[in-house]
Amino acid sequence: MSKVRKFQVITLFPEMFAGVFENSMMWKAQKDGLVELSCLNLRDFGLGPRRQVDDTPYGGGDGMLLMIEPLWNAVEAAKANDPDAKVLLMTPRGERWKQALAREYSEADHGYIFICGRYEGYDERILELVDGEVSVGDYVLTGGELPAMTIIDSIVRLIPGVLGGEMSAEIESFSDGETLEFPQYTRPEDFNGRKVPEVLLSGHHGEIAKWRDQNSKKAS
Ligand code: 4GY
């Protein structure tokens, strides 16, 4: 039996994760003891009575940066929960997330700690605690929360046992996890003149497989 995989998120907005962590796939994975999903509120590591987490950049410039001390302490706290965990920073400067990475991360035997930046960035010295920088795409979001949710979802669904019973054997034989889905149809056969492709109604499994393959996109 493999041990439970921990996914810890360091964020100023833990409430953003509630709906995502409670969706049926994530909920079942947790219930089955395959994964543990949790947030550390960066605010809890803030400095002083106002729990300050941000400050102005040295050298000048607009906006605020996440200070090193709260961020460092939050990462240390997460590592205390899961000493082998790898620390990932969500940043447009990171390596572009792709299906092959989701597959690789889903097969790891350790947990992950996701750092979600806010404001105009973070104190660069946090990189000393970071094992990897990942990006969901070449655009700038207001925070790393949406990327962290995207990345966690893409990993968890590939962990053995998570989607298990839900995939029919027929679908599974096409689903290598790297093939993006082919066009699919369900009832009715004819919706106000819009017909389902004939081959799908033919019952010829070989022809159907060929059609689906020809109409699939490969994830890169
Ligand atoms: N794109 N891929 C991304 C992002 C928000 C300010 C640095 C992205 O991963 N993260 O746009 N993140 C910014 C917010 C601090 C990260």
- What is the whole-number distance in angstroms between the Cα of residue 175 and the centre of ligand 1? 31
Token pair of 193 as six digits: 């003149």
**Cα–Cα distances in Å, from 94 out to 72, 90, 146, 201, 213?**
19, 7, 15, 45, 32
CB neighbour list of residue 37: distance below 8 Å, 6 or more residues apart = 7, 9, 17, 21, 26, 30, 152, 156
For ligand 1, mutation pick of 11, 53, 90 (most atoms within 8 Å of CB) = 90
pLDDT attached to residue 217: 83
pLDDT digits (tens, 9 = 90+) for 49-77: 999 999 999 999 999 999 999 999 999 99
pLDDT digits (tens, 9 = 90+) for 177-196: 556 789 999 999 999 999 99
| Residue 18 confidence class, pLDDT cut points 50, 70, 90 | very high
Token pair of 85 as six digits: 């965990």
Whether 92 lines ligand 1, by a CB cut-off of 6 Å, is yes
Tokens 């092959």 — which residue? 100
- What is the whole-number distance in angstroms between the Cα of residue 143 and the centre of ligand 1? 5
For ligand 1, mutation pick of 97, 122, 141, 146 (most atoms within 8 Å of CB) = 141
Token pair of 213 as six digits: 């393959």
pLDDT attached to residue 170: 42
Mean model confidence pLDDT for the chain: 93
Which long-range contacts does 102-110 make (Cβ < 8 Å, 24+ apart)?
102/151, 102/154, 102/155, 102/158, 103/158, 103/177, 103/178, 105/155, 106/155, 106/156, 106/158, 106/159, 108/5, 109/2, 109/3, 110/5, 110/82, 110/84, 110/85, 110/86
For atom 1 of ligand 1, which residue has the closest CA? Answer: 92
State the pTM of this model. 0.91
DSSP conformation letters of 51-112:
TB-EEPPTT--SS-EE-HHHHHHHHHHHHHH-TTPEEEEEEEEEEEP-HHHHHHHHT-SS-E
Whether 58 lines ligand 1, by a CB cut-off of 6 Å, is no
Q: Where are the beta strands (DSSP E) in the chain?
A: 5-11, 35-41, 54-55, 65-66, 86-96, 112-115, 132-135, 179-180, 190-191, 194-195, 217-218
CB-CB contact of 69 with 125 (8 Å): no
Higher-pLDDT residue of 5 and 169 is 5
pLDDT digits (tens, 9 = 90+) for 28-54: 999 999 999 999 999 999 999 999 999
For atom 2 of ligand 1, which residue has the closest CA? Answer: 135
Cα–Cα distance measured from residue 10 to residue 78, given in angstroms and rounded to the nearest whole number: 8
pLDDT digits (tens, 9 = 90+) for 76-91: 999 999 999 999 999 9
Closest atom, ligand 1, to C-alpha of 136:
2
